[in-house]
Amino acid sequence: MSRYVKSLIEKELANRFANVEALGVISPHGIDATRNNLIRRRLRQKGLRVTVVKNALARRALAGKLKAIERLLDGPSAFVYGNVSVSAIARALLEEKKAEEKLQLRGIYFDGEVYPGEDGVKTVSALPTREEAIGNIVAALLGPGRRLAGALLGPGRRLAGAIKAIEEKASSKEQPAGESATSAPSA
């Protein structure tokens, strides 16, 4: 490959990964073309893309932004990325690992840190997605309000329950007396 072609590929890779904040790195070594295409198709359905890169070109193209990712580049490498959260990428990779045992998970890169190996991918998969994190924050914000509303409504409910019990007791006392009063004159 000529230097000109290599520089074009480096520029293309740099442009492609310019807005990427999280990357999964896998090794498709030992997987035949049919299975490789199936993996790509399943990942594509989840909003993820797979790009196989030459390690030397990837190092040069990503030198400024993703320097820490060099630790994951050893042998044939493919980058998995997309407009989803990093935990969604990790979960998708773990699902693919279950479907294809030969797939090697090299690790995950995000937020300037590298999580190497399958254990790193499992660690990242346990993190909440953006939607889950927002839900947790909303639940945390609403929790004190619910407790306050319960504290304010609790005494009122107890009072209403006590009034209802007194009313039922009074109506049950009146009912037998009323029945005996109506039955006495007819006797």
pLDDT by 10-residue block (mean), the chain, 187 residues: 81 79 85 87 89 81 72 82 85 87 86 83 81 80 76 77 84 65 50
CB contact at 8 A, 65 and 111: no
pLDDT at position 187: 46
CA 16 remoteness from chain centre: 24
Rounded (10°) angle between helices 86-99 and 117-125: 130
* Amino acid letter for position 102: K
pLDDT at position 72: 77
pTM: 0.65
Helix (H, G, I), strand (E, B) or coil at 74: coil
* Amino acid letter for position 88: A
pLDDT at position 185: 53
CB contact at 8 A, 22 and 108: yes
CA dist 108 and 171 (Å) reads 71
pLDDT at position 138: 83
- 3-127 folds as Alpha-Beta Plaits (3.30.70)
pLDDT at position 65: 66
Pseudo-torsion of CA 133, 62, 94, 101, nearest 10°?
Answer: 180
Category of 80 on φ-ψ map: left (φ > 0), alpha (ψ -120 to 50) or beta:
beta
Secondary structure percentages of the chain, helix, strand, coil, to 5: 65, 15, 20
